[in-house]
Structure 1
């Protein structure tokens, strides 16, 4: 569940940038939505300039003039909040926190009634927004681009003064993967504009020491079914570069021992926090978030992995404990709303989704938006330099930035996943086929006693709708998905995944023929997201597509862009057969291949059958 993107939709719904966010998140858009735009192309070309109402001018980076002044203002916000909390402890202030003490930039219509409570007065169910792992229901799809095999917990109103500890207490879930990520320590250059900007500071399952007498079931050869599985993790709210403060905050592995990290709950949003129309204009400040992910919960344990929700509370250096709660029910209900998948007329892929196009590694949500607009809407005259400048000015990110601004992982993304993106469409009576070699992954979902070493921790491909947002912001409906242990492979881990509408399923697309068939669903245009999860060194290998193997040169807007890395539709790139190759043909053509299917003999692209 991407709650931050939900908030952005409400602000940008009427702008072309929101079109880019949801139609072009993987660098591709719905052809039909470009018809009106193309009717204006000659006029715009004659003007020989980019219309400012369609594409914003890149803000200067950094937005502030004096970083010491910005840090002093952040400290003032913290001091005001701390004074109120101490007065409350002394019985001299009410539990309600005035909006004047909330960072100016927080949407106090979305998050209301900030108040102090004792930890024992609040339950975890009141603290977390939950998006459960579940099977796709095309009559009631989930939105905001989730992986349906993952449960997302989001604490959306993290707010505590510098020097406070944020403590998370819970139980290790029965799942394939688990991590906790908190927004970074206050660093003015580390922009955090809603869902855009610098990524979170993580702690991954295997690094968490269990409480005395308990077991961490994610460690090699540990008992996955242990009954005593409690943990306690602490994030200290701090000022400073999160890379300097956290040994863990280093790509590509993001590993460090111990249960303590340095995070932040007072954040700097940059220019779009203060300006309109492209930004919300509420102010440059924001509060933080905590993200917890349970990937592939054990089937018998439910979406929460058979454990209770974790408890969060805050603590002053002198040991006094408290929590700051806010009401966010309406925001959560909108985030978890469901809609039926929409039928759209079949159409063949456009050029940018065609036979020669491979995959793109994601370097942040915002950059994917702008690159998509540049590739699919050429009359906007958005070149690669523009993409780089806008990403730097709005999100504070780029290949020439100092850490953490040059990390591939960005805001609201899992630090242990490498995201590869591609757009795709499906014509009438057509099938799409993915072939390649699947990295080995541990088997866990049937309650296996231990988790074995493998080449990756988790692997999946998920398709989301590319349609414009609904009036309330709903977008990114999940339409189909397949994960590692659902994919049929041969002795060499090679696979053939056939995707089609139910009525177009080829007769030979069966498990007995070594084929994994996936129902495409009723919607024609989708964005595929390949999630390749690695936890070094026990669930990792030499072809993991992390920053060691696939850096900024795999990004279209990079100064050093090299499409041969993963941008071509073949097995000749740096990942070899581990990069899925896309095939496209009629149902009849696939059926002619017979029952003795060999992935390397499947035609690449035959869209004119």
Structure 2
């Protein structure tokens, strides 16, 4: 099968379901009872995909506003398996990832790595896949007792090839072609549990509008407790040497418990609110496949996806607002200018027709955290966040693609433009 030209990332190079990188060796998934008092229900209780992470549902762990994350807990014994029957969505990106009960990664498959079923084609891997969802089918098996990265459309359910254990399966979908349908115009994958020595048993899928998926659903408290138990209480670990009074972008300090995404890497910058002040972020924009406007996801570009998000720097780490690549205004040189401010402090010229993308500051009574995402860099693009090694200067590695951030008064921006906002 042909493969898209993205650099393959393994689960040892991770950043979180919001942002934070985790240690290269994830904690082992544990059998019952679950770690640290977190109760993980068995599949089928209450239904498949019982938790949805996005603003308006479960807003925690720095989610991206242009993506939706569905979670299903599992507990599998020796010889058991969880079979995922799905349809590739009409979207920019999708992936299936297994995590242990501490929110640490076990194994993952991105869209272009998943083989189609007989008679189907993968639209994330070949250009002639057509548009009929009936011919976009796939099947993935989640099972314990196999090594991560085994391939063959198999995801390890436990780390270290453990024969049994519990965890969470997460389905991610970024930028659906139809923004009103976060699932990308197809049904959510069906899940079937197959216990050793017995046939498969299908799970019912939770209704999309069901309250069980929201902030008061059966998994909400479990997930909040998981983040609280495995992330620093009341604060984020940090962004290199930078502080809210002297902001700048750096790779985030490693933190557990935030459901890492193996296909993203991040820079973060801490911010502090001050009345009459805005934050200005500038840099060169990487190219991306503009699927919202009809471009193929297989178009040769530098990144599959990138965005800038404003987040709240306190548990449970919610997102306030984001601007994705396709939502970002560029000047004639392909450079972006973001203004992050409250509505009251927004300069009159902070509009897309003036080449400026505005991002809502959100709550002002807590410190904030900007997150700059890079997803799946192309093999010949060497200025991505993924190219920053330990001890490297991000600005030198990324060159013009490195985002700079500085504070500026609303008045100065309004009178003299973004060029007056320099460090």
TM-score band (shorter)? 0.7 to 0.9
Q: 2:305 aligns with which of 451, 458, 462?
A: 458
Q: Is the 8 A contact 1:181 1:202 kept in 2?
A: yes
- 2:411 is paired with a residue whose SS is helix
- Work out the CA distance in 2 between the residues paired with 1:417 and 1:449: 20
Classify the secondary structure of the residue corresponding to 2:47. Answer: helix
Pick closer, same or farther for the CA change 1:312–1:462 going to 2, 3 Å.
same
Residue 367 (structure 2) pairs with residue 509 (structure 1): no
Distance 2:381 2:282 in 1: 20
Greater share of helix:
1
CA distance in 1, matches of 2:94, 2:20: 26
Q: In the alignment, which residue of structure 2 is the partner of 1:234?
A: 141
Does residue 603 (structure 1) correspond to residue 418 (structure 2)? The answer is no
Tell me the residue number matched to 2:339: 498
Q: Is the strand fraction higher in 1 or 2?
A: 2
Structure 1 counterpart of 2:149 = 246
* Alpha-carbon shift at residue 236 of structure 1 (Å): 3.3
Contact 2:312 2:368 in 1 (8 A): yes
Does the 8 Å contact 2:242/2:269 carry over to 1?
no
Counterpart position of 1:423: 270
For structure 2, the 5+ residue unaligned runs are 1-18, 205-211, 225-240
**TM superposition score normalised by structure 2:** 0.76
Q: Which secondary structure does the structure 1 equivalent of 2:138 belong to?
A: strand
1:246 Cα offset (Å): 2.5
TM-score (structure 1 length as normaliser): 0.54
For 1:452 and 1:441, the matched residues in 2 are separated by 8
Of the three residues 390, 396, 399, the one matched with 1:552 is 390
Asked whether the equivalents of residues 443 and 451 of structure 1 are also in contact (C-alpha less than 8 Å), the reply is no
Q: CA deviation at 1:353?
A: 2.5
Q: For the pair shown, which has the larger CA radius of gyration, 1 or 2?
A: 1
Aligned-CA RMSD value: 3.8
Q: Deviations over 1:71-114 (max 9, x none)?
A: xxx9xx9xxxxxxxxxxxxxxxxxxxxxxxx62335788445x5
Structure 1 outlier segments of 4+, above 6 Å: 265-268
Q: Pick from 383, 400, 403 the counterpart of residue 543 of structure 1.
A: 383
Q: Say whether the 8 Å CA contact 1:423–1:526 is kept in structure 2.
A: yes
What's the counterpart of residue 52 of structure 2? 131
1:144 aligns with 2:61: yes
Paired residue for 2:156? 262
Secondary structure, counterpart of 1:127 in structure 2: coil
Q: What secondary structure, in the 3-state scheme, does the structure 2 residue paired with 1:428 have?
A: coil
Equivalent-residue separation in structure 2 for 1:265 and 1:160 (angstroms): 13
8 Å Cα contact 1:265/1:287 also seen in 2: no
Partner of residue 204 from structure 1, selected from 110, 117, 125: 110
Q: Label 1:452 to 1:26 Cα distance change in 2 as closer, same or farther (>3 A).
A: closer
Separation in 1, partners of 2:53, 2:294: 19
* Pairwise CA distance, 1:176: 0.5
* Residues 63-462 of structure 1: pairs in structure 2 closer than 5 A: 103-105=32-34, 110-111=39-40, 114=42, 126-131=47-52, 142-156=59-73, 158-183=74-99, 194-195=102-103, 197=104, 199-223=105-129, 225-228=131-134, 229-238=136-145, 242=147, 246=149, 258-264=152-158, 287-300=166-179, 302-315=181-194, 320-322=199-201, 330-334=217-221, 352-355=243-246, 357-362=247-252, 364-366=254-256, 412-446=259-293, 448=295, 451-462=298-309
- Tell me, what secondary structure is at the counterpart of 1:246? coil
Residues 141, 478 of structure 1: 8 Å contact kept: no
In structure 1, the gaps of 5 or more residues are: 1-24, 28-60, 64-69, 78-101, 116-121, 184-191, 248-255, 269-284, 338-349, 367-409, 470-474, 555-564, 567-571
What is the Cα deviation at residue 494 of structure 1?
0.6
Describe the shift of the 1:578–1:352 C-alpha distance in structure 2 as closer, same or farther (beyond 3 A): same
SS of the aligned residue for 1:217 comes to coil
Aligned counterparts of 1:236 and 1:477: Cα–Cα separation in 2: 32
Q: Deviations over 1:484-512 (max 9, x none)?
A: 10111123321111111111111222222
| Aligned mates of 2:282, 2:63 — CA distance in 1 | 24
